[in-house]
Amino acid sequence: MRDATPQTIHLSDYTPFGFDVTSVDLTFDLAPRATRVRSKITFAPRAGAADTRFFLHGENLKLIGASIDGTPVTPQVTPEGLTCDVPDRPFVWEAEVEIDPQGNTALEGLYMSNGMYCTQCEAEGFRKITYYPDRPDVMSVFTVRINGPHPVLLSNGNPVTRTQGSAEWHDPWPKPAYLFALVAGELVNHPGRFTTKSGRDVELNLWVRPGDEGKCAFGMQALKDSMTWDEQVYGREYDLDVFNIVAVDDFNMGAMENKGLNIFNSSAVLASPETSTDTNFERIEAIIAHEYFHNWTGNRITCRDWFQLCLKEGLTVYRDSQFTSDMRSAPVKRIGDVIDLRARQFPEDQGPLAHPVRPESFQEINNFYTATVYEKGAEVIGMLRTLVGPEAYSKALDLYFERHDGQACTIEDWLRVFEDTTGRDLAQFKRWYSQAGTPHVKVTEHWDDAGTYTLTFAQSTPPSAASPDPQPLVIPIAVGLLSPNGDEVRATQVLEVTQARQTFTFEGLASRPVPSLLRGFSAPIVLERDVPPGQTAFLLAHDTDPVTRWEAGRTLARDSLLAMIRDGVRPDADYLDGLRRLVADDTLDPAYRALMLGLPSQSDLAARLSEAGTTPDPDAIYAASEAMRDAQAEHLSDLLAGLYADHQVDGPYAPDAHQAGKRSLAGAALSLLTRTDGGTQAMAQFAAADNMTQQLSALANLIRAGKGKTALDAFETQWHADRLVMDKWFGLQVIEAKPEDAVATAARLTEHPDFNWKNPNRFRSVLGALTQHHAGFHAADGSGYSLLADWLIKLDPVNPQTTARMCSAFQTWRRYDADRQDGIRAELDRILATPELSRDTTEMLSRIRG
Ligand code: ARG
Ligand code: ZN
């Protein structure tokens, strides 16, 4: 039960806790419906503390008893926690509580998944386990005893003792409670070893459900690669004798970096060639790296409060993207990140959920694990590195680790290490952390025949509720200049735009250059420029920066699609010609060519139309995208069979970038071929496939061609026992449905006996997929909106976090026509009117509704 008016927490209200926690001892007596947790915690009042109140968070706990220094006490208990009179000297607090892991469907705190106990404590789940100052700036050393009949009993740190029915763990590194973890169950282990550079021998374990043993090898290798990379690139070594990873089927997010005991959504760690696609492998490698890298950026140095979440998440995303660039192809990774940023972060930053990378207030912190905090947070670090240079970046990071190890820090601490190592004033740069919204930068140019070329940048950030009066930012814009014959006459240089309007001059040029702007996507902005006719096609043919070259193709495709939608014209021949030359160019990486064949998403197109003052019609956008695909198929028709055949992989499947690139180009060719061959090739690939990448791409094509029935049945028969593969089976049918069938397909799948809606992965595979189907979700009759709303209402009391996250599907509602807006508003109001709606969902919908 919660308060009628949810409380808003403000960054400006931060006050430290009035006590140090010198040690924490926990004992768990596991039982599904009545687990007992005994805590013994040493508190010491802090000299000069402003807030001397002894308040311990606690939710859904049954207090059995409490004592101070052995004398029973009777605290004042509320639904949020307890207060108690305490002595003005160090004392030992002991409490016993009872909790109900089996009844915990929210998957926060201690819960059960397939008979196994596991925890998720970030951000504020520890208070559902016992009474505690559940805030990240309270760090302590934990000792944990687990009593239970399970063969595997795990917690953080190093194992101390292990006997029949009991285990004890000790974590020597002080940590906040959000990094606490416990796992108990019947699990099997895929073991490994790693020796750190200073010679520490580390036992690695990947714990999975019996039956999943065959899906561990890749994750284990990714862990070792991550450990090596962090030593080599950041000089960071692992600091315990054991590192455990556990795979769990029921999990709200991707994974969690608990100290020495990472817990993963099984979809983010289990992989095999037969059951996982190349995309899955790459994502798993990145998430394993991400959680491992948190050991230093998150655990050893943590956040002072949850407003500073980007301190660990932005940095750790940045680090995992560097890792992937090093392990695979840097340009392909960067382009993937740009696509992802535009798909997830830009809409957030441009809509009612816009918030700064470091938000200033929240009601439910779980609603701020967003693309803005994570991905824009990483972009901000990338810009910082671009501005100070790689050497200064390394020095600043060394200082960060040296100065702040063992501390709970702020963005101010983070920026100060850069100021101290470079002498640079980062006051203006800091606005990236405090100001919401995607900056627009308008570029104009001037050429005079004396050889002087100027570029003028005008920046503006649209005001939002979160940032009503945006100020100019420091924007690093990487620029190269090309001569009309395609030579690079000025190598990449970084222009620092700091003013609202600013001009840069290039002298001594023999002829008017063509600018290649925002190379490497050097800043998360929208670049606007009236490009002279033919120049984008020129850049597509000649740009020496792979990211801006890709961007040129993307721009041509987008502009052509927008013209098709608005004016009913045919696809742009220049785009198709340029594309053809690129795709046929065997000197280019196949993965890169596959990316070139991609189109801007339909939701991106809707955003563009709406920004330009045209109300987007999802059906028209769908039709234009289909017409463009047909045009690609036709224009490349003589190349496709060759592309397909030439990029088949000989020999056994490997999930590396080289093979994956070939498969992605072959897959792109197949999807165009299927438009003309009636599905013959897809059928053959489906029959012959020995890996999930090819099986799934064949299946997708068959569904799209309207010939999926037999293959879908065969796939279900083959894979019905594999949860992760069946998630794909559910999702694909929705994603690949015709717009007019998408809602009905999703609705039908929710009736399937295997639609276990309490499992977040399965729920997302159907309802999440529907929200990804632009024309389907926005069906004119509002059926997509009401189906989603029905399910959100049903899921909210069971799992508020997953419900609230999916509400963001509605965030773009003001783009659409009056009928669609009415339809969405009615659903938002219907959900909001639900009695006992969670704080999570209430906050999201209120912000979206405006
Ligand atoms: N710290 C985790 C990660 O990014 C995310 C966990 C957040 N979970 C949550 N329920 N808010 O690696
Ligand atoms: Zn993270």
Determine the pLDDT at residue 4: 52
Instruction: Supply the pLDDT for residue 1.
Output: 40
Ligand 1 pocket: which of 120, 122, 840 to mutate (most atoms within 8 A of CB): 122
Which structure tokens are listed for 661? 């690139």
Is the confidence at residue 195, as pLDDT, over 90?
A: yes
Hey, whose CA ends up nearest to atom 6 of ligand 1?
256
Quickly list DSSP for 101-133.
STT-TT--EEEEETTEEEEE-TTTTGGGTS-B-
Q: H/E element holding 401?
A: helix 390-404
ipTM value greater than 0.90: yes
The predicted pLDDT at position 6 comes to 78
Give the span between the Cα atoms of 437 and 41, in whole angstroms. Answer: 44
Ligand 1 atom closest to 123 (CA): 11
Backbone angles phi, psi at 407, to 5 degrees: -110, 165
* Pure H helices in 95-253: 217-234
Q: What is the CA radius of gyration of the chain?
A: 27
**Which residues are within 8 A (CB) of 192 and not within 5 positions of it... i.e. 6 or more apart?**
204, 205, 206, 220, 223, 224
Structure tokens, 410: 């702020």
765-820: pLDDT as tens digits = 999 999 999 999 999 999 999 999 999 999 999 999 999 999 999 999 999 999 99
Angle at 635 between CA 634 and CA 641, to 5 degrees: 70
If DSSP codes are grouped into helix, strand and coil, which group holds residue 665?
Answer: helix
> Is the distance from the beta carbon of residue 643 to the nearest atom of ligand 1 less than 6 Å?
no
Q: Which atom of ligand 1 is nearest to the CA of 374?
A: 4
Q: Strand 9-10 to strand 361-362: parallel, antiparallel, or no bridges (unpaired)?
A: antiparallel
The identity of residue 172, as a single letter, is P
Neighbour-count burial of 664, counting CB atoms closer than 10 A to its CB (0-12 exposed, 13-18 middle, 19+ buried)? buried
User: Cα(362) to centroid of ligand 2, in Å?
Assistant: 19
Residue nearest to atom 2 of ligand 1 (CA): 256
Return d(Cα 622, Cα 324) in angstroms, integer: 33
Q: Are 181 and 156 in contact (CB under 8 A)?
A: yes
Residue scoring higher pLDDT (355 or 1):
355
257 lines ligand 1 (CB under 6 A): yes
In sequence order, which ranges of 263-376 are alpha helices (DSSP H)?
278-293, 309-327, 330-340, 346-349, 371
Ligand 1 atom, smallest distance to 252 CA: 10
Testing ligand 1's pocket by substitution, the residue of 179, 253, 373 carrying the most ligand atoms inside 8 A of its CB is: 253
- Of all residues in the chain, what percent are helix, strand and coil, respectively (each to 5)? 45, 20, 35
The pLDDT tens digits for 28-72 are: 999 999 999 999 999 999 999 999 999 999 999 999 999 999 999
What would the 3-class secondary structure string for 499-539 be? Answer: CCEEEEEECCCCCCCEEEECHHHCCCCEEEECCCCCHHHHH
- 3-class state of residue 265 by DSSP: strand
Cα dist from 347 to 408, 606, 610, 842, whole Å = 31, 11, 12, 20
SS3 231: helix
Q: Whose CA is nearest to atom 11 of ligand 1?
A: 366
The pLDDT value recorded for residue 778 is 98
What is the mean predicted confidence (pLDDT) over 512-522? 98
Contact 453, 443 (CB under 8 A): no
Can you tell me the distance from the alpha carbon of 556 to that of 645, in angstroms, rounded to the nearest whole number?
Answer: 28
Name the residue among 341, 309, 308, 21 with its Cα closest to residue 174. Answer: 21
Q: Is the pLDDT of residue 313 over 70?
A: yes
Task: Answer whether 792's CB lies under 8 Å from 809's CB.
Answer: no
Q: What is the enclosing helix (H) or strand (E) of 29?
A: strand 19-29
Q: Are strands 19-29 and 140-147 parallel, antiparallel or unpaired?
A: parallel
Q: Is residue 2 predicted with pLDDT exceeding 60?
A: no
Cα separation, 373 vs 344, whole angstroms: 12
Q: Whole-angstrom Cα distance, residue 432 to residue 117?
A: 41
Where residue 3 falls among pLDDT bands split at 50, 70, 90?
A: very low
751: burial class by Cβ within 10 Å (0-12, 13-18, 19+)? Answer: exposed
Give the residue from 189, 193, 192 showing the smallest Cα distance to 208.
Answer: 189
Contacts of 485 (CB under 8 A, 6+ apart): none
What tens digit of pLDDT does each residue of 239-250 get?
999 999 999 999
Q: Which residues pair with 153 in a beta bridge?
A: 184
Label residue 302 left, alpha or beta by phi (over 0 means left) and psi (-120 to 50 means alpha). beta
CA-nearest residue for atom 8, ligand 1, is 122
Per-residue pLDDT averaged across 193-201, rounded? 98
- How do residues 709-745 score in pLDDT, each as one tens digit? 999 999 999 999 999 999 999 999 999 999 999 999 9
Residue whose token pair is 């809707």: 606
Assign 3-class secondary structure to 445-460.
EEEECCCEEEEEEEEE
Mean model confidence pLDDT for the chain: 98
Find the length of the chain.
850
Q: Exposed, middle or buried by CB within 10 Å (0-12, 13-18, 19+), for 60?
A: middle
Residue 745: what are its φ and ψ, rounded to 5°? -65, -45
- Decide: 297 in ligand 1 pocket, CB within 6 A: no
Active site residues: 291
The Cα 318–Cα 180 span in angstroms is 24
Contacts (Cβ under 8 Å, ≥6 apart) of 714: none
Cα–Cα distance, 834 to 832 (Å, whole number): 5
Does pTM top 0.95 for this prediction? Answer: yes
* Collapsed DSSP state (helix, strand, coil) of residue 172: strand
User: What's residue 578's pLDDT?
Assistant: 98
Quick one: which ligand is closest to 256's CA? 1
Q: Helix count (H) and strand count (E) of the chain?
A: 30, 31
Q: List, for residues 459-502, the tens digit of each pLDDT value.
A: 999 999 999 999 999 999 999 999 999 999 999 999 999 999 99
Q: How many Cβ atoms sit within 10 Å of the Cβ of residue 555?
A: 20
Place of tokens 């973890």: 181
Q: How far is the CA of 372 from the centre of ligand 2 (A)?
A: 13
Asked whether the predicted pLDDT for residue 148 surpasses 90, the reply is yes
Q: Which residues pair with 301 in a beta bridge?
A: 297
- Please name the residue that has the structure tokens 């101010």: 412
Q: Whose CA is nearest to atom 12 of ligand 1?
A: 256
How far is Cα of residue 203 from the mean position of the Cα atoms in its chain?
29
389-399 burial, b at 16+ Cβ within 10 Å, e below that, comes to: eeebbbbbbee
Distance CA 142, CA 45 (A): 19
* Residue owning the nearest CA to atom 5 of ligand 1: 256
Closest-lying ligand to the alpha carbon of 760? 1
Residues 6+ apart with CB under 8 A from 351: 811, 812, 814, 848
Q: Ligand 2 centroid to 816 CA: how many Å?
A: 34
In whole angstroms, how far apart are CA 507 and each of 9, 313, 705? Answer: 53, 42, 56
222 in helix, strand or coil? helix
Cα angle 609-610-614, degrees, rounded to a multiple of 5 = 70
